[in-house]
Every structure is written in C-alpha cells, then in structure tokens.
Structure 1
Amino acid sequence: MEAVIKMTVPAARTHVRWRQIADGVLLAGVLATLYIYARVQGLTYAEMSGGAGNGYEILDAGMSMPVQALPDSAIGVIDISGLGGLIAVRKSMEEAPVSVDEDSQALPFVTSIPDIALQMPEADLTDGGKGEEDDVPITALAVSVYGNGGIPELTTFTVEPENFDAASLEIPRRLGKEFDGWYLDAACTKPFDGLAENQKALELYAGWKEFDGFICNDKGHITDYTDLSVATDGILAFPRSPDCTGIEYGSLEGLEDIVMEVYIYTNITYIAPETFDHLYFLMYIEVAPGNPNYYSKDGILYSSSGELVAYPNGRNL
C-alpha cells in the first residue's frame, strides 16, 4: 500500500513516500532516526520553527531542556548506546495526521511517549580512577608526647609537619631526675632524630638521667653522690634544679676530709638534721638569697624561723 505522510517541518513541507508501512511503530522508528541524524549533524531546536505547544521535552541526565517546536509526529524512546545512553522524547498523546491515496482508507497513527529520563554512563570526575588516598596530601601531623614518669603525663596536638620542632616542645618535670631528650620508645633506646617522609603520626617519650654528680630519690632528695669530684677545690655545690629539693642524712658520707665550703641554692628546701655534722673541715655554709626555708649568716646555717641548723665543724679546730 502506498501512502503519503505529511509532516510539518520548520520552513519546509516534506513528503515522504513509503511503499509499505507495517504499522505505526515502524513509522515512529523512521522519524526517530531522522531526528537523531539531525541532532548529530548539529541541528538545534532553535533552528526549527513551527507551532508552539506541541509538548515535546528532552530529559537529559535528569535535567529538562527547554521545550522547542518539533514536527507533529510522535517519537518514542531511542537506544543510542554509542552516543551515551537513552534519549527520551515526551509528547502528550495526539493524533498524527496521515493522508493516503484515494484508493486507500485513512490510517490514524496515535502513540504516547512515556516519560523516561536520559540515562548517561557514570563518569569519574574525581581522580581519573586513582585511589583517593594516593592523592590526599598530608595536612597535619598528630603528635603524642609522653612524660614517661614526668609531668605532664601526656600531651597531644596536631601541627603541620614543616612547622614541627622538637626543641620547642615543653620540657616535662620529674622530681629527682634531669631531662635527657626525646625518644621513640618508653625504654629510651631509640633517640628521636627527625620526622620520616610523609609521616602522619609521632609518639615521643621523655628520657631521664641523674643529676650531674648526685643521685636523688622520687622526692627529689639527694641520697648519694657519684664520685669525689662533686667537691671541687673543697667546695660542695648542690644541683641547681627545681627537681632537686633536699638532702637526706648520710648522703655525704666519704666527703668528711674533702669539703670545706657548702653552697645551697634556692631549690634546696629540705635538709635532714645533722647532715653536715660529720664534715670535719667544713668552714663556711652559704645559702642563696631567696631560699624559702633557710638562710645563712657569717657562714652559719639557720632555718627561716631563726633556729640553728648547722654550725661549721672546721671552726672548732
């Protein structure tokens, strides 16, 4: 059967002659093919003119494009996988005019197009397939500082790696001990010597040692000395550290014939009774100004309340 299909196209009236039309679906497919061809060739809806209100709408990746005038023909959902997915054209149900030869009967063509959004393949717009962790820059270093017997026990903070400086860390305090640097382990066998490349976390442990020449208990009181050199030229000076706070009785045994002068700093706030009584050649005891518990006058040691604490035995010879 030979038919002439009339289709209104902007600025032109086109007659397409078909020798056989199986049904309305075949017609829709042909018109869709023509539409896709025009789209690929760069035609836009703005170039078409015609009656408005046809109700066509392209749904592209979930976003609707402006309605433009299209031919008075209904087209369905077309699979264009090679171009990126599905194209859905929506048109309210209308009857497309069809004319045939005089010997034929009029063949109405009616179709409705479902609302289907354009389904586009998902594109990776982030890192081109690379793992996110590979490209994430290190923005901060997590630092944990352990007192390791000292105070504060633990300090944590974050810092930019390039701004980290171990020398600027707060030095913890520990009675009877002197700070000996930062280590990577609690046993203080691995000294810290700098950050590794791309290091994200750091744990530091305070190292400790005895005061130079003296041994103290956990109260910070001197209990012994390491060698006779603590009394240089007969002068015995105790550690000048706030973590050395006193002198226990018997801690100076063996220095009886060496010590002639004793110097006490402001940090020594406890002196056990009779601590200096066995220093036979001791001639002078001096206390630094500002000591809260002791003072000296004419080389004699007094408590802050004025009581006699020690009289130099060398003066009795």
Structure 2
Amino acid sequence: MEAVIKMTVPAVRHHVRWRQIADGVLLAGVLATLYIYARVQGSTCAKMSGSAGNGYEISDGGMSIPAQELPDTAIGVIDISGLGGLIAVRRSMEQAPVSVDEDSQALPFAAPIPDITLQVPETGLNGGGKDEENDVSITALTVSVYGNSGIPELTTFTVEQENFDAASLEIPRRLGKEFDGWYLDADGTKPFEGLAENQKALELYAGWKEFDGFICNDEGHVTSYTDLSVATGGILAFPRSPDCTGVEYGSLEGLEDIVMEVYIHTNITYIAPETFDHLRFLMYIEVAPGNPNYYSEDGILYSSSGELVAYPNGRNL
C-alpha cells in the first residue's frame, strides 16, 4: 500500500500544474483581445470626432456645421434644396493603422472614415436673406361698363386682368329692347372678343336688338311686327319679357285675316282700347294666370276691375 501511494501522488501533482497553466493562458488571451478592441474603438472615435477633417465642430451648445465649398474629392451629392443647401459626401482613403503598443506590428486593416460636408447658402435654412425673389407681374384692368340707354347707366371697377370675365357682368335692362351682348362702341358695330395682352383699360357698351318678331317703343309697348310669322297657326303671342309691357293701338294692322287666338303673358300690363277690334276671325283671348291688370273668362278679355276690354269678333259671324 505504501508503494502505491508513492507512485500516484507525483502524477496527480503534475496534472494540476498543467491545468493551472492553461487557465492562465486563456485569461491572458481574453485580456489581450479586450485591450486590442478598446484601442481600435478609441482610434476610430478619435478620427470621427476630428473638427477639421470631417467638417464638424463640437461645442457646448451642440454641433455646428460651417459653410464650405463642395470638395473636389466628393463622390456623391445629396440635394436638400428644400432646406437651402447641398450635402457632398467623400471618403478619405488614408489608412489609420492601429497597434497594440509601440513595439508591436500594425494590425493588417484600417478603418476609412466618411467625410461629410454641408454647404449652406448665406440665406440660411429659414429662406430669408439675400436670395432674389421672382416677382410676378400683375396687370390691373380698369373696366367701364356703359348701359347705352339701358340700366345701370355706368359701372366702373378695377380687377386683375386674368380674373376678368365678361360673362360675369351684370346684364343691363332697357324697356322695349333685348340685350345683344357687349361692344367696344356705342353703335354696336365692334363686338367685344377679348382682352389684349397687358391691357390696362376697357370700355364696354351694351348692345340692343328688337324682340323676336316685334318692334317696341321706349315704353316697352309693341308698336308693330316684323313679319306674319308672329301669328303662326293663327295664334298670336306677345314677347315674354319684363321689358315688353304693353300693346299700342294699330300695332296689329295687316293681321286681320290671320289671327284666331291671342295669348297674353303676365308682363303685358297695358292694352290700348280697341286694339283687337279689327281682328275679324278672333275667337279666343287667353290671359296667363298672375297678370296684375287683366284676366280672361270664356275667351273674353276683362280688366282686373271686371270691365270688358275686348270681345272676340269671330263669335259674331
């Protein structure tokens, strides 16, 4: 038993010694790795925090970006014109060897650091300053609108030329006439067709024409007709316009043998006595509901007070 113990103890001691050595080597390797990693990170941060190389300055108030010309070595440009500048990006090709200590060899790699320059115009990012603005030329147009015997007699206003629209003008009124558009002269010989470029003044005159088929005086009363078509099919109907207000005696001469029926709109508020007496074949007179001065009953014309105005002569045949 004593011999066995003497032979086993040295072997155990030898095994423990090698295990301690391996643990020490492993620990040393880990420490060396951490040290190298720390040196590499420190060198990289030092390069990135440089003030002149990357175009940045670090101050207590934060980061400021000085205005610089775009570098010749720029390999890319980022347009941020909406913010008032350009970003040029370049990459430094100089290598920055990193070593563990002064006696060791440089590591076989380098960390190239991007160099970014922001070029800002003098106006700054707020858009104000020395930049010239593009002025938009606005032409003011003075418009004079003449009623030309109509109402309103004259209207004057100023408007931007591009906003002028003749169709939006108030249409004037004139007793006995119908509006016929805008003209450049009072005689109605030069129709308005549009504005000239950069025109600053415009004079428009209302044009007038007779009602279709009839001729009226300045009181709006029918005094004559233009052709026999006013009584097509034997039915005579006067103009339906607020500017045609009555019928004068003798205005229907020549229609004696044509007219068989007369229709009176609400705008006809005056009918001269005996106006229809010569219409020998007249059988019926109809007044539109709502006429303030006349009404009809069984084809006979009465005033609003109930007086007989006209009895159809055709019924006497």
Q: Into which bin does the TM-score normalised by the smaller protein fall?
A: 0.5 to 0.7
Is 2:238 aligned against 1:238?
yes
1:92 is aligned to: none
Q: Check whether the contact 1:183–1:189 (CA below 8 A) recurs between aligned residues.
A: yes
Q: For the residues of structure 1 that align with 2:298 and 2:163, how far apart are their CA atoms?
A: 54
Q: For the residues of structure 2 that align with 1:169 and 1:157, how far apart are their CA atoms?
A: 11
Alignment deviations for residues 33-57 of structure 1 (CA, whole Å, 9 cap, x no partner):
xxxxxxxxxxxxxxxxxxxxxxxxx
Q: For the residues of structure 2 that align with 1:148 and 1:238, how far apart are their CA atoms?
A: 25
Q: For the residues of structure 2 that align with 1:198 and 1:208, how far apart are their CA atoms?
A: 29
1:122 is aligned to: none
Quick one: structure 1 residues 277 and 244, their matched pair in 2 at CA, closer, same or farther if it must change by over 3 Å? Answer: same
Larger radius of gyration: 2
Q: For the residues of structure 2 that align with 1:188 and 1:173, how far apart are their CA atoms?
A: 16
Alignment deviations for residues 241-290 of structure 1 (CA, whole Å, 9 cap, x no partner):
11111000000000000000101111111000000000011111111111
| Structure 1 unmatched ranges of 5 or more | 1-124, 128-134
Is 2:291 aligned against 1:309?
no
Question: Structure 1 residue 140: deviation in Å?
Answer: 2.2
1:189 is aligned to: 189
1:155 is aligned to: 155
Quick one: structure 1 residues 187 and 136, their matched pair in 2 at CA, closer, same or farther if it must change by over 3 Å? Answer: farther
Q: Check whether the contact 2:139–2:198 (CA below 8 A) recurs between aligned residues.
A: no
Question: Structure 1 residue 164: deviation in Å?
Answer: 1.3
Q: For the residues of structure 2 that align with 1:234 and 1:163, how far apart are their CA atoms?
A: 50
Q: Check whether the contact 2:235–2:261 (CA below 8 A) recurs between aligned residues.
A: yes
Q: For the residues of structure 1 that align with 2:249 and 2:144, how far apart are their CA atoms?
A: 40
Q: Check whether the contact 1:266–1:290 (CA below 8 A) recurs between aligned residues.
A: yes
1:199 is aligned to: 199
| Structure 2 unmatched ranges of 5 or more | 1-129
1:276 partner SS: coil
Q: Check whether the contact 2:286–2:299 (CA below 8 A) recurs between aligned residues.
A: yes
Q: Check whether the contact 1:138–1:200 (CA below 8 A) recurs between aligned residues.
A: no
Q: Check whether the contact 1:245–1:270 (CA below 8 A) recurs between aligned residues.
A: yes
Question: Structure 1 residue 158: deviation in Å?
Answer: 1.4
Question: Structure 1 residue 136: deviation in Å?
Answer: 8.5
Point out the structure with the larger helix share. 2
Q: For the residues of structure 1 that align with 2:215 and 2:153, how far apart are their CA atoms?
A: 23
Residue identity in the other structure for 2:252 = L
Q: Check whether the contact 1:138–1:198 (CA below 8 A) recurs between aligned residues.
A: no
2:165 is aligned to: 165
Question: Structure 1 residue 137: deviation in Å?
Answer: 2.6
Residue identity in the other structure for 2:242 = P
> TM-score by structure 2 length?
0.57
Residue identity in the other structure for 1:171 = I
- In the alignment of these two chains, the number of paired residues is 185
> TM-score by structure 1 length?
0.57
Taking only the aligned residue pairs, the percentage that are identical comes to 91
Residue identity in the other structure for 1:165 = D
Q: Check whether the contact 1:175–1:220 (CA below 8 A) recurs between aligned residues.
A: yes
2:223 partner SS: strand
Q: What RMSD, in angstroms, separates the aligned Cα atoms of the two structures?
A: 1.6
Is 2:214 aligned against 1:214?
yes
